[in-house]
């Protein structure tokens, strides 16, 4: 029995369900932009083959010079170009494309290693009675950075080793100055 487009009182059949899924999935995919705009696809293909441009450069050039906007096309992205290459819409090999070189966002410097014996307050040099948590009055301090990029906020955790009592503060950044200021504020409380 069928009412309003839905079948009622029909037992479940995995084959029918899979076929229905595949049919609906096929309808959900849109047409590839560069298949629809063949003139743009040919332009990109020529820029990669003849002029040896990187897909990033082509995207940037097309956006700044408003290419193909009169045809109703608004924008294109680098992944769209790479997908068009993978699916054969643009007749170029991925190995033949130039890639842009990006500077890393952060500059990591090699840390100079210092032997443990020369670090007076190293965790490795702490007495055994602190390690086995047999006496009161010892704390561990650590910071935890969140996952938000661009924000430098972190949590400052202060844990009492014997009782595992923990105090947590929010700190604006993980600098030693901010951590020391927060500990000094705690002393005043």
Predicted local distance difference test score (pLDDT) of residue 5: 57
Q: How far does CA 184 lie from the centroid of its chain?
A: 36
**DSSP H or E stretch at residue 2:** strand 2-3
Beta bridge partners of 169: 156
Tens of pLDDT, residue by residue over 116-137, are: 555 666 777 777 887 788 888 8
Average pLDDT of every residue of the chain: 77
Q: With a cut of 50, which residues of the chain have pLDDT below it?
A: 1-2, 100-102
| Residue indicated by tokens 């010892």 | 138
pTM: 0.40
Tens of pLDDT, residue by residue over 140-157, are: 888 888 766 656 788 888
């Amino acid at each position: 029995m069928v009412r309003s487009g839905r079948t009622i009182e029909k037992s479940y059949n995995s084959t029918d369900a899979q076929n229905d899924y595949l049919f609906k999935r096929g309808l959900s995919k849109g047409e590839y932009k560069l298949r629809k705009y063949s003139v743009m696809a040919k332009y990109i293909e020529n820029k990669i083959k003849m002029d040896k441009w990187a897909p990033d450069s082509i995207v940037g050039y097309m956006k700044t010079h408003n290419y193909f906007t009169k045809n109703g096309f608004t924008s294109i992205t680098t992944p769209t170009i790479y997908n068009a290459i993978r699916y054969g819409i643009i007749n170029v090999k991925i190995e033949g494309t130039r890639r842009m070189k990006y500077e890393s966002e952060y500059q990591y410097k090699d840390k100079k290693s210092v032997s443990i014996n020369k670090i007076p307050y190293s965790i490795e040099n702490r007495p055994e009675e602190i390690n086995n948590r047999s006496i009161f009055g010892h704390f561990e301090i650590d910071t935890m950075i969140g996952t938000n990029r661009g924000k430098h906020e972190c949590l400052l955790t202060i844990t009492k080793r014997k009782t595992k009592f923990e105090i947590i503060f929010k700190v604006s950044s993980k600098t030693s100055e901010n951590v020391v200021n927060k500990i000094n504020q705690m002393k005043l409380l």
